[in-house]
Amino acid sequence: MGEDVGHYGGSYKVTKGLAEKFGDLRVLDTPICENSFTGMGIGAAMTGLRTVVEGMNMGFLLLAYNQISNNAGMLHYTSGGQFKIPVVIRGPGGVGKQLGAEHSQRLESYFQSVPGLQMVACSTPYNAKGLMKAAIRSDNPVILYEHVLLYNLKERIPDEEYVLCLEEAELVRPGKDITILTYSRMRHFVLQAAKTLVERGYDPEIIDIRSLKPFDLFTIGNSIKKTHKVLIVEECMRTGGIGASLRAAIVDNFWDFLDGRPECLSSQDVPTPYAATLEDATVVQPAQIIVKVEQMLQGLI
């Protein structure tokens, strides 16, 4: 359910064809009223349905913050386990191409502290499908973050059914010199930077953390124990973002395995500008990743 998800097929055509296939009772076009239809989705999940709620833009779901935090996240606990909340809340977010401040939100920082919510971020067609299927099957409320600039990615995916684990990170590139932790669109920026780093003789290990809550500390820890250096690259805000929480978890659990402090590249703590050059300046770019990795591996920081 959501705005224009039915006969229009979604603002980014993610739900194209579903209304014709499943009908108006399973694919619901809603009014522009996020608080109401998110609450309706959560209530439907309480009765046993498995609901998928789309925010046309993830920033709009701030209007449903009460429903998501006080109801979706907490009702299983506050009902003494009488209710399960198998709801998936999904939609496009992140910094697009001149979408302006209100349409460039990264809501993972807003929702990470809400008890009871799981959060995952997809970065490829393969893991988008696998994580979506896993989220729908989960009895927990799951927020699935899709990046507005990744919808045009194409990839051959298996014909047979597959479901990914919601709590597992993905080893994207094995390496021995440094661990780079990232997710969503920044995965592709890190891979761009890695091409240059490899040409210059470095061997970075790249992990797409995918699960933003909880973190897959088993995969992350094994990598840090091998490389002894870690860089976090995110599009989230620096203050109170996923990188800040991940860095704290790394310090708490793997301090003795580190040769230096964990470093983090994040977006600037400013509203995202509309002007393209200023917008780019607020977000981590591949060149910054290259410089930071070289500084860390050369012992300059």
Look up residue 16 and give its two tokens: 């194209």
Write down the domain spans for the chain.
18-147, 170-298
Tell me, what amino acid is at 85?
Answer: I
| Secondary structure element (H or E) that encloses residue 182, with its range | strand 178-182
**How far, in Å, CA of 141 to CA of 268, rounded?**
30
* CATH number for the domain whose boundaries are 18-147: 3.40.50.970
CB 266 within 8 A of CB 288: no
Tell me what pLDDT residue 181 has. Answer: 98
The CATH architecture annotation of domain 170-298 reads 3-Layer(aba) Sandwich (3.40)
Q: Which whole-number Å values give the CA distances from 182 to 127, 138, 300, in the listed order?
A: 15, 24, 22
The torsion region of residue 199 among left (phi > 0), alpha (psi -120 to 50) and beta comes to alpha
**How far, in Å, CA of 222 to CA of 254, rounded?**
10
3-state secondary structure of 168: coil
Residue with the two structure tokens 């309480």: 46
3-state secondary structure of 204: strand
DSSP-H helix ranges across 175-285? 186-199, 217-227, 242-254, 276-282
Same fold flag, 18-147 and 170-298? yes
Q: Which residues contact 12 (CB under 8 A, 6 or more apart)?
A: 92, 148, 151
Residue 301 has pLDDT above 90, yes or no: no
pLDDT in tens, 101-113: 999 999 999 999 9
- The residues annotated with a catalytic role in the active site are 34, 103
Between 283 and 300, the more confident residue is: 283
What is the pTM assigned to this prediction?
Answer: 0.96
| Secondary structure element (H or E) that encloses residue 9, with its range | none
Residue 141 has pLDDT above 90, yes or no: yes
pLDDT in tens, 146-192: 999 999 999 999 999 999 999 999 999 999 999 999 999 999 999 99
Helices (H) and strands (E) in the chain, counts: 11, 10
Tell me what pLDDT residue 164 has. Answer: 98
Tell me: cis bond preceding 214? Omega within 30 of 0 counts. Answer: yes
3-state secondary structure of 231: strand
Strand order, beta sheet including 178-182: 170-173, 204-208, 178-182, 230-237, 263-267
